[in-house]
Structure 1
Amino acid sequence: MTPLTIEGFRYQTLPGERDVDINVAVAGFGPAVVLLHGFPQTHYMWRHVARELVERHTVIVPDLRGYGESSKPGASSAETYAKRTMARDVVRVAHALGHERFGLVGHDRGALVGVRAGLDHPRTVRYLGILDVLPTLDTWAVLQGVNAKVAWHLYLMAQPAGLPERMIAAVAPEFFASFLDAWDTDGSTFTPEVRQHYIDSSVAAVASIVADYRATASIDLEMDQADRDAGRQLGMPVGVISQDWGSQLGFDAASLWEAWARDLTYQPIDAGHFMAEEQPSEIARFISDLAARADN
């Protein structure tokens, strides 16, 4: 199946960390902003938002390593899909495009990469936008009891290599489609073509997607804990926009993020998990407001 591309964007392949090739879409002029996608999606999830931002920004939209048209290296070590490594991919791509500093906005998995980039590269990331996720350390801390069933896939993909990959591969189209359907509030967010694109792209990336999630239960968790123990925080302006799923699971998402960010705004939104596609104008405004904060 031919990959979907964002209209008006030029595409190129740029080197990431450790000989990984990153598929990148670029358009626009002005200060750079990098948009990172979530699961089970590709860079194409940003198509609507990206087109709204190009008049005021250089918009850089990569496929994360292990997803879409980017390289899918085998997980030779825990570092292969550590968010630290994935963050270095992003920094290298932006620098290759001539942007030493940039804004960074991520959804879901991409937001976890963004948090790590902000912690590891504080002079490079001008501002950080986060869509509908918690930091790794807090995610595992708040998942308790029966309520944790909403994140059953985290536990499956955290298991040692081998069995999770085989189990998912056996029913891969149904597995990935289940998230698209369950997290789409009214079933109208995706056209059949877009839905199939996400399923096909994910089916082709079972091993790397599992490795990405497995890292979140091991090396990424360890890095977050080390930062918490050292009192490290995100120093740039940080904006979080999220569903109110914290009330269902029994935690206050805003207060959890306040422990990580000195300059935080938290904004609830009446939307589903795939909010960048469901309410793109609202997300574009969120990003523009965050960029304006960084300029002041």
Structure 2
Amino acid sequence: MTPTIPGFSYDRVPVADGVALHVAVGGSGSPVVLLHGFPQTHLMWRHVAVGLADRHTVICPDLRGYGASDKPADPDGTAYAKRTMAADVVALARALGHERFALAGHDRGALVAVRAGLDHPDAVTHLAALDVLPTLDMWDVLHGTTAAVGFHLYLMAQPPGLPETLISGAPDAFFGHFLDLWARDPQALPADVRAAYLTASREAVPSIVADYRASAGIDVAHDRADRDRGATLRMPVTVLQQDWGAALGYDAAALWRAWAPDLRHVTVDCGHFMAEEAPGRVSGALRELLRR
């Protein structure tokens, strides 16, 4: 049986023509939407969500293309643009009765959260991003042999066909590689949760690739247009990151501050899956953000 978030109810909510999101909802109070990363599902928030539910309505969807949410085809390269996925999130919150909400995202979910904050500033009250850089900056800092750490970004950026074929040939090896490599504490990903992530990813290879492909194309164009017009995130922003800047030679806080003038940037000492490896630290940072 697929694990669930204890005490949360589950539903499917239509958010766009032909697309519904699988979502877990729990708690009561001001709304907080939590967006998962790769190669995970909403389950990555299971500890944090329960911790926040005493004071907040916590909404944990599977992003389009992931988990049990719908996985539309992508004939023109826009179905998995972060602009499209951000619109899903706003539509989901509204369908659940929330015009304004706080938003936190990890990894891919953080990129969706940033786009939602830029495109829908009147809807997003607070924003948190876990262990990622904005798309435009991410590509700028990868260079030379250090870019090998992001080989999957380049693989999935290729035109349709080859990436899907290669990954589908050994999906558990591919997705499991990242679960094993990026978790500093393997015990944070128990066997049933790890199996759920692998099953969900195995069943979503084309849409996951399309999500990454968008980040090498249309998402960059959207970010560049926003940078050129001086757009920034108007809401309070918290970023939690490993010290990738020291490893790859850039100032992560400075890159984020260009997008988020009201920024709290924190370097954390844990693995990439910090909501599972250090849920208390993440919950505390989110509670602090929501008081700003």
Q: Same fold (TM over 0.5)?
A: yes
Encode CA deviations 1:160-210: one digit per residue, 9 max, x unaligned: 000100000001110000000000113222111111111111000000000
For 2:291, the equivalent position in structure 1 comes to 292
For 1:248, the equivalent position in structure 2 comes to 247
Q: Does 1:37 align with 2:36?
A: yes
For 1:20, the equivalent position in structure 2 comes to 19
For 1:108, the equivalent position in structure 2 comes to 107
| Per-residue deviation, 1:74 | 1.0
For 1:89, the equivalent position in structure 2 comes to 88
Q: Distance in 2 between matches of 1:20 and 1:5?
A: 22
Which letter does structure 1 place at the counterpart of 2:269?
Answer: D
> What SS does the corresponding residue of 1:202 show, helix, strand or coil?
helix
Q: Distance in 1 between matches of 2:185 and 2:75?
A: 40
For 2:277, the equivalent position in structure 1 comes to 278
* Count of aligned pairs between the two proteins: 292
Q: Does 1:143 align with 2:124?
A: no
Identity of aligned residues (%): 59
Q: Distance in 2 between matches of 1:52 and 1:12?
A: 21
> What SS does the corresponding residue of 2:78 show, helix, strand or coil?
helix
Q: Distance in 2 between matches of 1:214 and 1:102?
A: 28
| Per-residue deviation, 1:125 | 0.1
| Per-residue deviation, 1:77 | 1.6
For 1:176, the equivalent position in structure 2 comes to 175
For 1:155, the equivalent position in structure 2 comes to 154
| Per-residue deviation, 1:3 | 2.9
Q: Distance in 2 between matches of 1:279 and 1:54?
A: 17
| Per-residue deviation, 1:214 | 0.1
Q: Distance in 1 between matches of 2:10 and 2:36?
A: 16
Which letter does structure 2 place at the counterpart of 1:211?
Answer: A
1:116-265 aligned at under 5 Å gives the runs 116-265=115-264
Q: Distance in 1 between matches of 2:110 and 2:282?
A: 14
Q: Does 1:56 align with 2:55?
A: yes
| Per-residue deviation, 1:87 | 0.4
TM-score (normalised: structure 2) = 0.99
Q: Distance in 1 between matches of 2:177 and 2:166?
A: 15
Which letter does structure 1 place at the counterpart of 2:181?
Answer: A
| Per-residue deviation, 1:19 | 2.0
**Residue pair 2:185, 2:277 contacting (<8 A) in 1 also:** no
| Per-residue deviation, 1:246 | 1.1
Which letter does structure 1 place at the counterpart of 2:89?
Answer: V
> What SS does the corresponding residue of 2:60 show, helix, strand or coil?
strand
